[in-house]
A and B are shown apart, each in its own frame.
Chain A
């Protein structure tokens, strides 16, 4: 079932001035309910402009954005509702923490939704547990947290609104490897426990390939391709021409293939890689 639908959406910045730039053009897109979609594309390809249309932060210059079949830009009310139903987490969201305690920061969204005190409490606890923040940390000032913890607190604030769609722009940028793993694990966990739709924008092909089922490739403000992970990452030359690349693990298998080894190149994670290498050795009857 389609949850989010964009019909012929274009957006022009500074429209009517000499500086007008069309950031996205003629976008037609359907996001299915419960799907996990990755968005990739080089800087300036229109990714950020695109996702800001998902919750009416930007209103298309032409075209329509439908959520559950209803135009979200129809009225102030519908745009307001879209903000809660589609939770948008910007890049470096920790810079937007501002409350006196982590608890109050996570509660900010639910409070604005006009929920009861008890409901807010429950949602904050639930979101904090999901992102792995302890009760102890909830009492602290957000500024006392580590970089990774701050990032998780910021995401918890969005999760606490229980959005139908969670959109994350570069959720792992600037984090160390263990912080990155925690965030990625948390996103998987959120999806499993809530069956929500998740959309992630990332420069890390590894992150996208290991999490998403379908991928949108943006190029020059248009959707270049919208297909399964497999279909996107089997075309390494095509990606390179767009300023993108295959995940590092995949590049190893492409190199092995070049060297004449008959390996499967449809490999995106280290776990898959380990299995495929062992399988290859066994199949070739190579003992060790």
Chain B
């Protein structure tokens, strides 16, 4: 497991988000103790990182996502965002200015009847002066490629467009970090591509920290780092190459290898050793044709 705290101290980077022995239990109606959804989790995310969180349904990853911006407060331990304790209610608004969340269902996140009003909702609530709101909204819509739709009705947009409007809404709050909880689960192939390329651009070009919770392995390989959750705990934390070379953990946690890694693993079992670190379809095609050239 990666010693993130140690790494951060060593490199002098301050973590943006820190989970310290954090647990979370949902209340039952009777108020009885339920097994915690998140158990004693420790990790930190630095500014500018692109982290994917994987895990099967019910592994605790969405709960972790909701703990990053004080929607849920840890029932044990602490979650610290840029030095602020998320359990301190007085800091809630400041924390949400730093970390914004985009959820799975695009239709549940729309509050206005015009795209630009929807994007303005966040900054308006923060009391940003109108002239600055105008500027922020335009900028955010341009960033996600939805500026020309600013006067459209959100409910008439496609799923991918709606999700990009939701992302713009977070950007307009000038957040340092965007957490996305399965943002593409309900989208068609084009919608998925639109959202994923937007997320990549935010991270690479604007330096925004991205936490992407997903069930799609081909999305996770785009991240700098992958965290795998199982039964409320972190069972793996490393680069995509490190994580997906641990085939045993991937299988045991009900996940699968990305397509390129899957085929490379199948060939390996037949005694064909392609180079290490194959993840994507492109990686595989490159490595296989190289193998053919070398062994012909």
Contact = CB atoms under 8 A, between A and B. Distances in A.
A251 B295 contact: no
A174 B296 contact: no
Contacts of B188: 42-43, 203, 243-244
Nearest to A285: B296
Contacts of A255: 281-282, 285
A270 B57 contact: no
Interface residues of A, number: 37
A256 interface: yes
Contacts of A284: 292, 296
Which of B267, B273, B285 has the most chain A CB within a 10 Å cutoff?
A: B285
Contacts of B255: 176-178
Contact of A251 (B104, B217, B281): B281
Interface residues of B, number: 43
Nearest to B282: A255
B282 A245 contact: no
A1 interface: no
Contacts of A205: 189
B248 to A, nearest CB: 15
Contacts of A245: 189
A110 B213 CA distance: 39
Q: Tell which of B56, B57, B281 has the most Cβ of chain A within 10 Å.
A: B57
A244 B189 contact: yes
A172 B267 CA distance: 28
B58 interface: yes
Nearest to B217: A177
B262 interface: yes
Interface string A246-288: 0011011001100111000000001001100110010010111
Nearest to B162: A43
Interface string A214-253: 0000000000000000000000000000011100110110
Given A251-B281, A252-B285, A259-B289, A179 B56 contact: yes
A-B pairs, top 4 by smallest CB distance, nearest first, are: A178-B254, A255-B285, A147-B57, A176-B56
